[in-house]
Amino acid sequence: DQQVKQNSPSLSVQEGRISILNCDYTNSMFDYFLWYKKYPAEGPTFLISISSIKDKNEDGRFTVFLNKSAKHLSLHIVPSQPGDSAVYFCAASSPGGTSYGKLTFGQGTILTVHP
Amino acid sequence: DVKVTQSSRYLVKRTGEKVFLECVQDMDHENMFWYRQDPGLGLRLIYFSYDVKMKEKGDIPEGYSVSREKKERFSLILESASTNQTSMYLCASSSQPRGYTFGSGTRLTVV
């Protein structure tokens, strides 16, 4: 049962345009969401996060939007740069308790930004 | 910065071999995790540990075991490697339930 889903395996955009990566989740207990970026032969690195009490969080060129009623979040990258080409993973966590901070990841979306 | 070090970047092992993947973190984190990454499947949790000598099964523990004898070290063991365990293995650590620091990964090929 895939609780976090990234339905687009890949996305191709032109340099300077907006990249929008989408993520859906099914578990209403998730209260914190994160995006990770992964280059080939490297481990994922944290990009941006958002708490369920917010609907938007912005960090430079990266903005994450959360729509709790739709159980949907998206990552916007503006403007996109060739160096943004990577695999992007959406992840979600439940509040404390026995989860020990366990993150549930989506399948990933390969972003390619063309010069 | 927190550093998570995985002992090998690339490994090639034969079917049936016992394989040890080592992970060390240097920031006194309580929680450590092992994931595998496969195309189209994302990152799937194999095992995690929230304290020394404590472990919990993740979503796909079959064929794997783990060991955490010291807080900084979390080992993943493939008891008898099989070709379907060919994958990228990622270790992560966390001090609180809000995000991980990952190692660089170990690309394991079982032939």
Segment A7-63, tens digit of pLDDT: 999 999 999 999 999 999 999 989 899 999 999 888 999 999 999 999 999 999 999
Q: Which residue has the higher pLDDT, A98 or B28?
A: B28
Q: Is A74 helix (H, G, I), strand (E, B) or coil?
A: strand
Question: Number of C-alpha atoms within 13 angstroms, CB side, residue A20?
Answer: 6
- Are A105 and B103 an interchain contact pair (Cβ–Cβ within 8 Å)? no
Compare CB distances from A44 to B9, B58, B102 and report the shortest one's residue: B102
Give the separation between CA B86 and CA A104, rounded to whole angstroms: 21
A32 CB near a chain B CB, below 8 Å? yes
Q: How confident is the model at residue A115 (pLDDT cuts 50, 70, 90)?
A: very high
Examine the pLDDT at B96 and tell me if it is beyond 90.
no
Asked if B40's CB is within 8 angstroms of A9's CB, the reply is yes
Q: Cα(A94)–Cα(A31) distance, rounded to whole angstroms?
A: 6
Using DSSP's 3-state secondary structure scheme, residue B55 falls into: strand
pLDDT band at residue B1, thresholds of 50, 70 and 90?
low
Range of the domain at B36: 4-110
Task: Identify the weakest region by mean pLDDT among A72-81, B18-27, B51-60.
Answer: B51-60
Whether residue A6 lies within 8 A of chain B, CB to CB, comes out as yes
Nearest CB to B42: which of A93, A99, A108? A108
Is A34 within 8 Å of B94 (Cβ atoms)? Answer: no
Answer yes or no: do B99 and A96 touch at CB < 8 A: no
Contact A89 B43 (CB under 8 A): yes
Sort out which chain B residues have CB atoms less than 8 A from A95's CB and list them. Answer: 97
Q: Which residues sit opposite A75 in a β-bridge?
A: A21, A64
Q: Do A41 and B9 touch (CB under 8 A)?
A: yes
CA distance A1 to A5: 10
Total count of domains within chain B? 1
The full set of domain ranges for chain A reads 4-97+106-114
B interface test, pick of A37, A103, A104 with most B CB neighbours within 10 Å: A103
Can you give the pLDDT at residue B98? 60
Kindly tell me the burial class for residue A71, based on how many C-beta atoms sit within 10 Å of its own C-beta (0-12, 13-18, 19 or more): middle
Max alpha carbon distance in chain B (Å)? 38
Burial class (CB in 10 A: 0-12, 13-18, 19+), B62: exposed
B105: helix, strand or coil:
coil
Question: Residue B73 contacts by C-beta under 8 Å, 6 or more apart in sequence?
Answer: B22, B23, B24
Looking at residue A96, its pLDDT comes to 58
CATH of region A4-97+106-114: 2.60.40.10
B60-79 average pLDDT score:
96
Q: What is the CATH number of the domain that holds B93?
A: 2.60.40.10
Among all chains, which residue has been given the structure tokens 């080939």? A40
Where does residue A98 fall: left (phi above 0), alpha (psi -120 to 50 degrees), or beta otherwise?
alpha
Separation between Cα atoms, residue A56 and residue A67, nearest integer Å:
9
Strands (DSSP E) contained in chain A are 4-5, 10-14, 19-25, 32-38, 45-51, 56-59, 62-67, 72-77, 86-93, 103-105, 109-114
Q: Which of A41, A103, A107 sits opposite B100 (nearest CB)?
A: A103
